[in-house]
Structure 1
Amino acid sequence: MEYRRLGRSGLKVSALSFGSWVTYSNQLDTKLARECMAAARDAGVNFFDNAETYAAGASETIMGAALRELGWAREHYVVSSKFFWGLSDDPNGKNTLNRKYLLGAIDGSLKRFGLDYIDLIYCHRPDPNTPVEETVWAMHDIINRGKALYWGTSEWSADEIRAAWEIAERHHLHKPVMEQPQYNLFVRKRVEQEYRRLYEDLGLGLTTWSPLASGLLSGKYVDGIPAGSRGTLKGYEWLQERLRDEPRNAAVRKLLPLAQEVGCSLSQLAIAWCLRNRNVSSVITGASRPAQVVENMKALEVAPRLTPELVDRLQAACEGAVN
């Protein structure tokens, strides 16, 4: 496993990490989650990603239970959570980053995880209805109280990230050190263009999600949505239109012979493509079986084989399906 600094911070995270979105509670119970996390840890993974809203809090509960059963020393792993959507319909607890919500949300996550602190906390989306200064102060206070170690954002614009960073700089507060954007062969512009100045100016680190574009880049949806896949899960009906996207499935068909040329699976190729970007601190992977975890981790062996010429061919195959 390769370990990369989280932006300009001193924290090192595994270049491949393991996340719980979609799978925990929907496809994985505590036993299977524990087995997948153990497989990831055996491969050197030290970062496990989560969020308050995943499975309405059940994802944090399952991961916390799995961590207790695994019995790892706390200093050996990094856990994250993300806050914005909330778990209630209360006007001060839903779709917000106000101080009242954030200070309560961290306590709820700690209780579900059964942990004394969470390593990384994210503002899961920007909140246009709360002053950025209020959110920055709340995140700073959470860290000052020892409930989290670092904070960052997820799917914020470059301008929003810079505004939060400058407020923290002006008031000598804990600054946002990482962003969690979607990044894959189909979704590139924000990471490669919009954020470009932030890597050098602010030392921004990235923990990217959906390297397989919700599974499209695994190749299993080129002939439709198979039974038992995430596209058939209750509550994820919105995914079906994306998985049937014909321009992207056409691009996947072009990528298949390139994976064969490299001697790897399409999933491994897509994950390895994300790893080649040195501004990415960690690529968050997901899996519903330990064997799938092991296969995904092999992307580390594939990444060094991606020559500039091959990268150009990969990206050319996706032309017309990129945003």
Structure 2
Amino acid sequence: MDYRKLGNSGMYVSSIALGNWATHGETVEQDLATDCVRKALDLGITTFDTADAYAGTKAEAMLGEALKGVRREGIEVMTKAFFPTGPGMNDRGLSRKHLMESINGSLRRLQMDYVDVYQAHRYDYETPLAETIGAFADIVRAGKAHYIGVSEWTVEEIRAGAALADELGIQLVSSQPQYNMLWRVIEAEIVPACEELGITQVCWSPLAQGVLTGKYSSPTVPAGSRFSADDGGLKTEHKFMQPKVIERVEKLIPIAADLGVPLATLAVAWVLANPNVSAAIVGASRPGQLDETVKAADLILDQATLALIDGVLGDVIERDPAKVESFPQRV
């Protein structure tokens, strides 16, 4: 396993992080979740990412149970707040009220005294930014989080948040965007700004929600998979689930084979090749899936391989910085 600094902080994270979005509490129950977490630890993964809204708060609770008995100082735990966790108008967003209540709820479910990074899951356009960052600062000063981060904020929002955090003497160290071979909207503006500000990326969906494993390149769509339609065909509503995209992804498989790795390993290694990336977040619904994924930490891609990948994917790559997945409103 490779370990990298998170932003301009002194804390290291494992370059492969285990996330539990769309697994713990949804497709994976506690015993299997615990097995996946313990497998991750055995493979050198020390960084775990979750959020209060995942699986209606169940994902945090399951991660906390899976990590019970693990030396707290030896792991890094990241969670997030913004999306609804209850029926009330204040059970969402980044108001001071919600953040103060959310961090306490997260710590209770995780069975921990603190998280290493507390993140704004989206930008809240209904709450003054000063209120949000002020609440984050008080959470850090109370010892309930060491650092703060953001997810899917635009470059202007990141700059404003970082400036306020600096004024209040806390560290905004991470950005959590969607980033993979097909989705590169952070490269033009966000990555250069983050390099300047001392912020690094902790990337979600490095496998483009399974597309970059190559499993959808087969004529038969895997039964029960995320993009399997009721009739056994392929759901094509998603931006990655287009025939042209699938066709190009299929041409990546020989590139991975020449390197002696599965396509999934190549895809995660591609994300880690960006020097502004501290970690790629991967999921696992069974422990064995992690064996191939973690090999990406040791796979160094040369410029010729990176250029070959770009040539194969061509115009199916999305680069428009305006498509950062910010959330227009919280209600």
Shift of residue 168, structure 1, vs aligned partner: 2.4
- 1:84 paired with 2:82, answer yes
Query: Which protein has the bigger helix share?
Result: 1
Deviations 1:265-306 (CA, angstroms, capped at 9, x unpaired): 0101101111111110111111111110111111223x22x2
1:320 match: secondary structure = helix
Looking at structure 1, the residues matched to 308 and 200 of structure 2 have their Cα atoms a distance apart, in angstroms, of 27
- 1:259 paired with 2:256, answer yes
Please give the TM-score of this superposition, normalised by the length of structure 2. Answer: 0.90
Looking at structure 2, the residues matched to 204 and 83 of structure 1 have their Cα atoms a distance apart, in angstroms, of 19
Q: Would you say the 8 A contact 2:195–2:276 is kept in 1?
A: no
Q: Would you say the 8 A contact 2:38–2:66 is kept in 1?
A: no
Tell me how large the CA RMSD over aligned residues is: 1.7
Equivalent residue number for residue 193 of structure 2: 198
The one of 235, 243, 251 equivalent to 1:246 is 243
Looking at structure 2, the residues matched to 78 and 196 of structure 1 have their Cα atoms a distance apart, in angstroms, of 23
**In structure 1, what residue type is equivalent to 2:154?**
S
Equivalent residue number for residue 48 of structure 2: 48
Deviations 1:80-111 (CA, angstroms, capped at 9, x unpaired): 111101212311222x1111111001111111
Equivalent residue number for residue 276 of structure 1: 273
Shift of residue 162, structure 1, vs aligned partner: 0.5
Q: Would you say the 8 A contact 1:106–1:147 is kept in 2?
A: yes
1:193 match: secondary structure = coil
Looking at structure 2, the residues matched to 189 and 249 of structure 1 have their Cα atoms a distance apart, in angstroms, of 20
Shift of residue 208, structure 1, vs aligned partner: 0.5
Equivalent residue number for residue 96 of structure 2: 99
Unmatched 5+ stretches in structure 1:
none
Equivalent residue number for residue 66 of structure 2: 66
Please give the TM-score of this superposition, normalised by the length of structure 1. Answer: 0.93
| Count of residue pairs brought into register by the alignment | 312
Equivalent residue number for residue 163 of structure 1: 160
2:100 match: secondary structure = helix
Shift of residue 50, structure 1, vs aligned partner: 0.4
Looking at structure 2, the residues matched to 189 and 87 of structure 1 have their Cα atoms a distance apart, in angstroms, of 29
- 1:178 paired with 2:174, answer yes
Equivalent residue number for residue 216 of structure 1: 211
Shift of residue 177, structure 1, vs aligned partner: 1.2
Looking at structure 1, the residues matched to 46 and 166 of structure 2 have their Cα atoms a distance apart, in angstroms, of 29
- 1:146 paired with 2:143, answer yes
Shift of residue 176, structure 1, vs aligned partner: 1.4
Q: Would you say the 8 A contact 1:119–1:150 is kept in 2?
A: yes
Looking at structure 1, the residues matched to 312 and 220 of structure 2 have their Cα atoms a distance apart, in angstroms, of 20
1:52 match: secondary structure = coil
Q: Would you say the 8 A contact 2:17–2:49 is kept in 1?
A: yes
Q: Would you say the 8 A contact 1:224–1:244 is kept in 2?
A: no
Shift of residue 232, structure 1, vs aligned partner: 5.3
Q: Would you say the 8 A contact 1:22–1:230 is kept in 2?
A: no
Equivalent residue number for residue 115 of structure 2: 118
Unmatched 5+ stretches in structure 2:
319-331
Looking at structure 2, the residues matched to 262 and 8 of structure 1 have their Cα atoms a distance apart, in angstroms, of 33
